[in-house]
Structure 1
Amino acid sequence: MKPLARYASLNNYVELAHSLGLNPASLARSAGLDPASLSLQDRWVPAAAIAELLERSAAESGRDDFGLALAERRRFSNLGPLSLVIREEPDVRSALKVLMRHEHMYNEALRIRLNEHGGVATLRLTLDLGQPGTFRQSVELAVGVLHRLLQGFLGPAWQPVTVSFSHPAPRSMRTHLRLFGPVVEFEQDFDGITLYAKDLDAPNTMSDPLLRPYTQQLLDSMHATREATTLNRVRELIELLLPTGRCSIEQVARSLGVDRRTVHRRLAEEGHTFSSLLDSVRAELAGHMVGNRRYSLTEVSDLLGFSSPSSFSRWFRKRFGCTPSRWRAGESSSDQHRVRHIESI
């Protein structure tokens, strides 16, 4: 299946896009993403769609350093709950090991590998998006974030031996020199950062040994709540694709990089079918949207991927026992009954 990434990968994207005169909502839609979900950092979407958004944004803004400019706005906390665990590791080496061991928790396409030889350590980054292409912006974003993470541990004056990129140099080196200093190199045989191995053993001054057992418990709980099952992936893709009108088993299969039979088989192994899952997601969303007068019922019909308001109304009546307009008017049942019914779906 094609790898997924959290919307947190685009943290601060909207602000950067606006500062460069871009329309972030329009660009997100053009890449197949839902603009309204950009604030939902823990939602998972195809990593290739995020990469495409960054490339489109760089092209439209004329800034071939767009990914690096985004990295410059990142904070340690943008790694989400994992940042709390890394923050309490005793030294840089152990913090990096946690980051590499659990990289799938924030981006399934990213791989970071550490090699040491002769007192020199190399952190190599690779992106596997499940499709061919040039993803300069995503690479520079990932390297930039890693560099800022290391500076967070080693201090703002720290510099690596080299910062390497396999792609050609940008038209302007200003952002690269500001972030990395004069050690940045292009058209190298890998993407990543080279540093002295002794830097890895530097103590983490942010760490509190008394908190470490609690952060380990947090890490264990995150593993228990986030399983990359086919059910999770298909459900999130259904939510993503419904407003586009392209929510079909074929489109979901293409997004996952498999054929439709594979999706059917893997869902069946987890006790589900695509149609039942689609119906469940629609019911959950409909219960909230119909009760929210911000949306007209025609808009709700469109957002849930129905071909017409009449087909939406027929489906809603069958699912909830009344028409959408009666549900909204509160004539069908008490609010307490509505909540219990939605939660039981």
Structure 2
Amino acid sequence: MDDKVNVLALHLKAFTDYAELRGISSKKLGKALGHPLPDLDKPDLIVDGDDFVYILETIVDLLKDDKLGIRVGNHLNLKTLGAIFSVSLKSTTVQEALFYCQDYLNRTLPLVTTTSSRSGNIASIVLSTHDKTSLVSRVLLETMLTVISREIQLLSGEATSIGVTSPYYKREYPNHWKKGEMFSVNFQHTILKATLQNNQGWGLDTLIPQYLSLIEAMRPDESFSRKIRVISLKMASPVLPDIHMVCDVLNLTPRTLQRRLSSEGNNFKSIMKSLKHEITGFLIRHHQFSITNMSYLLGYSEPAAFIRSFKKEHGSSPRKLRQYLLKEAPNLLAHEDASK
């Protein structure tokens, strides 16, 4: 690998658990790697991308199984994906649920590039890696395709037609797979079964900060600013904490905290603004949150203040942007750069 990347350990656990099932112990994989494997059960643990690839190469070489990716994907318990699974189950459309699925994969498994499109009532998700010919890429992509198609089936119901393509397709693959030039999932854009549920008490307002704190913890950045972001997201209830609450956790005075942030060219107000921007990008995709609800969850004194701030940041009202994201966006899974 040319670029240094980190991968969420839970992705590696899917492969090591399956390898264990097939007689390849973690101890054996650690010996091949040159050091023991860490405890991959920790929800926010990250592993080096090179180590991730090397372990996959070892498993692929030892098992020599053409359907390895499909078998791993079917063996994977979706609940092990953590916050993303909890959030997607509470969505009301495939558009909402798979926005989280793509965002999660893009942030926690940067070895894989995920893109999507929609034509009429048919949505397509395409996965790729930089190395399109290696066996590791094939296994990794076919695992992800299996997981995504399972998620769509779970959320949409048995009647939903789902097609999966792979350049490596063979006759022994599942019936809904076929040969194609790309690794892709194609399905009808439908309303999820979740729409039949009661929208009350879903807890999305607290799950979203949990999800973002997991993503934030993966960043290689060791700055004090990142530490404040992680602490703030973990303390969200769902309203983000104020500076005094954060200072109490760190046993610092507000003046000291601001001085340390200033040395990095940052300040507490800017961090809160950035976090509110990210949380807004998720909340606005869920129509069960009114503009009034959103303004409260983001700590604004009144909806008008939230709307003014939103228009200044995005150039349009929350209502108009929501309509665009939920109905008209050409890339139904597109998400904004978290650095904004």
Identify whether the pair has TM-score above 0.5, normalized to the shorter chain.
yes
| Structure-2 change in CA distance of 1:5 and 1:222 (3 Å) | closer
| 1:164 and 2:165 matched | yes
Compute the displacement of 1:141 (Å).
1.0
**2-side partners of 1:123 and 1:66: how far apart?**
21
Question: In the alignment, which of 12, 22, 35 is matched to residue 10 of structure 1?
Answer: 12
SS in 2 for 1:53: helix
Compute the displacement of 1:142 (Å).
0.9
TM-score by length of 2: 0.56
| 1:209 and 2:211 matched | no
**2-side partners of 1:70 and 1:63: how far apart?**
11
**2-side partners of 1:207 and 1:222: how far apart?**
27
Matches within 5 A, 1:66-145: 66-128=68-130, 133-134=134-135, 135-145=137-147
| 1:184 and 2:177 matched | yes
Aligned to 2:156: 154
Contact 1:5 / 1:47 at 8 angstroms: preserved in 2? Answer: yes
**2-side partners of 1:214 and 1:230: how far apart?**
24
Compute the displacement of 1:205 (Å).
5.0
Aligned to 1:40: 42
Aligned to 1:229: 220
**1-side partners of 2:205 and 2:197: how far apart?**
12
Q: For residues 159-183 of structure 1, give each alpha carbon's deviation from its aligned partner in whole angstroms, at most 9, with x where no partner exists.
A: 41x21112x235x72xx32xxxx23
Contact 2:45 / 2:218 at 8 angstroms: preserved in 1? Answer: no
Specify every segment of 5 or more residues in structure 2 that has no aligned partner in the other structure, as ranges: 224-262, 266-340
Contact 1:54 / 1:67 at 8 angstroms: preserved in 2? Answer: no
Contact 2:160 / 2:188 at 8 angstroms: preserved in 1? Answer: no
The amino acid of 1:56's aligned partner reads T
After alignment, is 46-55 or 110-119 more displaced? 46-55
SS in 1 for 2:91: coil
**2-side partners of 1:33 and 1:163: how far apart?**
37
Q: Percent sequence identity over matched residues? A: 15
Specify every segment of 5 or more residues in structure 1 that has no aligned partner in the other structure, as ranges: 233-268, 272-345
TM-score by length of 1: 0.55
Q: For residues 104-124 of structure 1, give each alpha carbon's deviation from its aligned partner in whole angstroms, at most 9, with x where no partner exists.
A: 442222332221114321111
| Structure-2 change in CA distance of 1:28 and 1:63 (3 Å) | farther
| Structure-2 change in CA distance of 1:85 and 1:98 (3 Å) | same
Q: For residues 59-113 of structure 1, give each alpha carbon's deviation from its aligned partner in whole angstroms, at most 9, with x where no partner exists.
A: 2123222222111112221212222222211221111112223434422223322
Contact 1:119 / 1:196 at 8 angstroms: preserved in 2? Answer: yes
**2-side partners of 1:105 and 1:65: how far apart?**
26
Contact 1:58 / 1:65 at 8 angstroms: preserved in 2? Answer: no
**2-side partners of 1:65 and 1:120: how far apart?**
27
- The structure having more radius of gyration, on CA atoms, is 1
| Structure-2 change in CA distance of 1:125 and 1:144 (3 Å) | same
CA RMSD of aligned residues (A): 3.1
Question: In the alignment, which of 18, 23, 26 is matched to residue 25 of structure 2?
Answer: 23
Contact 2:44 / 2:214 at 8 angstroms: preserved in 1? Answer: no
**2-side partners of 1:136 and 1:62: how far apart?**
13
**2-side partners of 1:203 and 1:51: how far apart?**
37
SS in 2 for 1:204: helix
The amino acid of 1:202's aligned partner reads L
**1-side partners of 2:75 and 2:196: how far apart?**
21
Compute the displacement of 1:143 (Å).
0.8
